[in-house]
Structure formats: structure tokens, C-alpha cells
Amino acid sequence: MIRIVSLAWKTGDYGTTVWHHKLGCGHVVSQKRRLPEGRDLDCTQCDEDVRAQKELDSMPDPEAPVTDSHAPEAAPEVELDDHAAALEWAQMARAVIASTFRIDPEQIQIVAGDKGIEGGIIVLTPKDVNNLLKGLTRE
């Protein structure tokens, strides 16, 4: 998005000078040359915010539906008396998964039935994927 430069200031010494331009949106853009105040400048941070918002809007709703069905054999069987207990069990599983992968619980969908957890879906942002892959090397 194009924004008007409202303020400009210089930091650094000879040969390492950097000009900081405060834009009308409040973001600061740094570059080697000074632009006059009142001049238009592209704000990459606003562009990134718009792109990220569009990506978030296109993601599926993170709230998981609770279905009434039986848990698969691999999952531990837990006898639950009612719907509220199934929801409580699903929320506990959601919290454990969120802390394990260090993501927000809202990114996790858990499907629970009368006998326990049936399955789940984890929605990861590009940032989450990069955080999970940190430390891995390509061979």
C-alpha cells in the first residue's frame, strides 16, 4: 500500500547512514536515501498485514464439531457419561497438543464421541511450519 512520508530521520555515521521514514500508517521504512516529507512510499508491512489477513480469512473455522460415534481401536477407550464429559476430554486433548507443538489451541480441531477421541485436525500457519522445521537440515 502506498503511504505518505510524514517524518524522516537519519542514523549512523558516514558510509553507514540509514534514513528512517515514518509513514502515515505508523510503520517505519528504512533505506539508504532520504525521501522528502509528503512523498509517497510503499509500505511493505501494510502489504504483509493485508496478505496475512486474507490467508487467515481463507482458513477453515477452527472450532471442531463433536460427533456421536465410537473411538478407533488405537485410541484409549474412556467411558464418558454425557456430552459435557466428551467436550471436556476433547478440550484436555486440545491443550496437550497445543503445548506440545507450541501453537494456539484455536488451531486444533478434536472430534470426540461417547467413547473418547475419534480424531483431530491441526491447522498450521507458514510461521508455525517454519518453527517446527527449525533445526532440521536438508541432505
101's CB contacts (< 8 A; 6+ apart) are: 122, 128, 132
Domain that holds residue 119: 59-139
The larger pLDDT score, comparing residue 6 to residue 138, is at: 6
In a 3-state reduction of DSSP, which class is residue 82? coil
Q: Report pLDDT for 138.
A: 57
Number of domains within the chain: 2
Closest Cα partner for 87 from 107, 116, 62?
Answer: 116
DSSP per-residue letters across 12-32: S-TTS-EEEEEETTS-EEEES
The answer on 114 and 65 residing in a single domain is yes
Query: pTM here?
Result: 0.37
Choose the weakest-confidence range: 24-33, 55-64, 77-86. 77-86
Q: Report pLDDT for 72.
A: 46
The answer on 38 and 64 residing in a single domain is no
Q: Report pLDDT for 126.
A: 87
In a 3-state reduction of DSSP, which class is residue 130? helix
Among residues 13, 43, 58, the one where a domain terminates is 58
The larger pLDDT score, comparing residue 3 to residue 48, is at: 48
Residue corresponding to grid cell 537440515: 137
